[in-house]
Amino acid sequence: MRVLSAEHVAAAASPAGLPEPEVPEVALLGRSNVGKSSLLNRLAGRRALARTSATPGKTRLIHLYRVRRTGGDLLLADLPGYGYARVSRQERRRWRDLVEGYLAGRESLRLALLLQDARRDLGDDELGLLAWLRERELPAMVVLTKADKVRSAERARRRRAFAEVLGPELAEPVWTSATRGTGIEALWEGIDAWLGTGPSRGDLPAGGGA
Ligand SMILES: Nc1nc2c(ncn2[C@@H]2O[C@H](COP(=O)(O)OP(=O)(O)O)[C@@H](O)[C@H]2O)c(=O)[nH]1
Ligand SMILES: [Mg+2]
């Protein structure tokens, strides 16, 4: 499957502000600065579709991007990041309401990608999110970012550390680097496997898969 074009279609401060579900959707979740927007740009094959930033904690909106592919369109949702140190309890609650409201209620959502910096261990936030998704039977994939920052001699050790924490239920994380473009094909393959065969909510036209 080949990406033909991509465009920004919506930005919303609440799930109610999003356009009606129409094509399969894949959400990118993760801590601020983990590389969500950079990875989304790589998936879309566009350098500056989603704004990236060296200063974390800016996005407070859900951004939807439509990706047109040879096998059918899908939407990528760039969700606001968490874990930014200087936020109030009230802001944390607002994040939670927005993101959990979206994840629990978006009928076209087929898969959540949980992004994790390949150099760091999964924290309580990540494990909590994975447990939350599992409880709701929402498919999730762990995607490691910034793989270019991990020396090849350390890869095996990092791989074991992730496998130990994640257990056998989840597929092995996909390693990606948005700066180098590595792992993008493998990630698309993983996404397509879910779109084609994974459980789905709602009654949607098949937009991806074989
Ligand atoms: N070395 C490296 N840096 C990255 C990679 N992906 C993102 N970054 C950098 O990490 C910072 C945050 O990226 P961004 O995509 O805005 O993260 P977001 O807050 O999760 O959307 C930016 O300075 C990016 O240039 C990567 O694969 N490798
Ligand atoms: Mg971002």
Does residue 91 line the site of ligand 1, with CB under 6 A?
Answer: no
Q: What is the pLDDT of residues 12-64, one digit of tens each?
A: 999 999 999 989 999 999 999 999 999 999 999 988 898 877 665 555 899 99
pLDDT at 202 over 70: no
Position 99 scores a pLDDT of 95
Which ligand has the nearest atom to the CA of 144? 1
The atom of ligand 1 lying closest to the CA of 78 is 21
Q: How many angstroms separate the alpha carbon of residue 52 from the centre of ligand 2? A: 5
CA 89 / ligand 1 centre spacing (Å): 26
Average pLDDT score, the chain: 89
Which residue has tokens 């473009």? 181
Confidence band for 199, pLDDT divided at 50, 70 and 90: very low
Question: Into which CATH architecture does domain 3-197 fall?
Answer: 3-Layer(aba) Sandwich (3.40)
Are residues 136 and 199 in contact, defined by beta-carbon separation less than 8 angstroms?
A: no
Show me where the domains of the chain are located.
3-197
- Report, as an integer, the average pLDDT of 116-141: 96
Which residues, by Cβ under 5 Å, contact ligand 2, an ion?
A: 36-37, 59
The kind and range of the H/E element at 27 are strand 25-30
